[in-house]
Amino acid sequence: MAAMWCPIIGLLLLLLPLGPSSAIKFPLIGNVYPDGHFYATLQIGKPLKTYFLDIDTGSNLTWLECEHPDHGCKGCNQRTPHPYYKPAAHNLMVKCDSWICAQLRKDLPGSPQCPNSDPHRCHYDIQYVSGRSKGDLANDMIFINRRDDMNYVFGCGYEQEEPLEQPSPPAVDGILGLGRGSVGFVAQLKAQKKIVRNVIGHCLSIHGNGNLYIGDFRLPPGDVTWAPMSTSLFETPSINLDIPPENYLIVTKDGNACLAILDGSSDRVLRHLILIGDVTMQDLFVIYDNEVNGIGWVRAQCDRMQDLESVIIDSRL
């Protein structure tokens, strides 16, 4: 009797509607040294075009180097691996009084208010620790996991400023904003029901490359250390982050060892802040759980994370 029901139950399961994606994985290319960045590959626009985006967990807005129809591309990176994004006029019709533009101004304090002269565009102005980017919000199609597309709002960055003393910008097409704001990449995925949970994970191999995970992914074996992500000035309980020598020393091709820790006390932006950069996160699986405002980490061999393919639930878009 049970055997007779098995094919019927199997057929019913096939007919059930698929829910939102459980997890989405992006391979990461790059290294701490000598490149100094990791990028994910996204396909944007109609027709689809490929762009390399530098991942940034501290930025709320994703933006591309952009050939703006009115402003061109001032100070743009001359080393982009692909031609600048060229939006059509309708792609830039994200109105200044729209809800997402209002959220942008919350996520990016200091962004311009709505001018009477140009109410049909949403302007932004991002000040980084070093450098600056100005642009307008654009709305275009983005392709996820090579299976589905969605409308996505991001920045058309038409004016970039880099300090003269800074090294050349990385050879990427823009920034993938993985911050916690409402205009962030992950927040938009959840709002459009492409994922269920606003959770980010990354594993950066000490040998280069890695993976970025978004959504309801599973973790590698081991005990995860958790800490609250709080905006409060009050202290939280002490938590240990073990840093082996290879996570704070960089050995050059000539065999010289450099201390990968900078004094930020004299920087006008950092001052008393302490930043934990990607050099420290090598061979750690780091989780940013924005559902519970927690950050966690567990030691992992990130160059072997493909062994977890069977337990990482891929996107069903």
Give per-residue pLDDT as tens, 1-15: 444 443 333 333 333
Higher model confidence: residue 305 or residue 49?
49
What's the pLDDT tens digit per position in 187-222? 999 999 999 999 999 999 999 999 999 998 888 888
CA dist., res. 83 & res. 207, Å (int): 29
Q: Which residues are CB-contacts of 31 (< 8 A; sequence separation ≥ 6)?
A: 38, 207, 208, 209
Write down the pLDDT at residue 1.
40
CA dist., res. 231 & res. 182, Å (int): 16
Buried b (16+ CB within 10 A) or exposed e, 19-43: ebbbbbbbebbbbbeeeebbbbebe
pLDDT in tens, 92-147: 999 999 999 999 999 887 777 787 777 889 999 998 877 889 999 999 999 886 66
Q: What is the pLDDT of residues 171-181, one digit of tens each?
A: 899 999 999 99
- 208 sits in the region (left: phi over 0; alpha: psi -120 to 50; else beta) called left
Average pLDDT value for residue range 58-79? 93
The confidence band for 237, taking pLDDT boundaries of 50, 70 and 90, is low
Reported CATH class of domain 26-196: mainly beta
List pLDDT tens digits, range 123-133: 999 988 778 89
What is the average per-residue pLDDT within 64-76? Answer: 94
What is the C-alpha separation between 112 and 123, in angstroms, rounded?
6
Which residue's structure tokens are 């060892």? Answer: 257
Selected residue with higher pLDDT from 270 and 254: 254
Backbone angles phi, psi at 5, to 5 degrees: -80, -20
Question: Could you state, in order of their start, the residue ranges of all structural domains in the chain?
Answer: 26-196, 200-308
What's the pLDDT at 158? 96
Q: What is the mean pLDDT of the chain?
A: 82
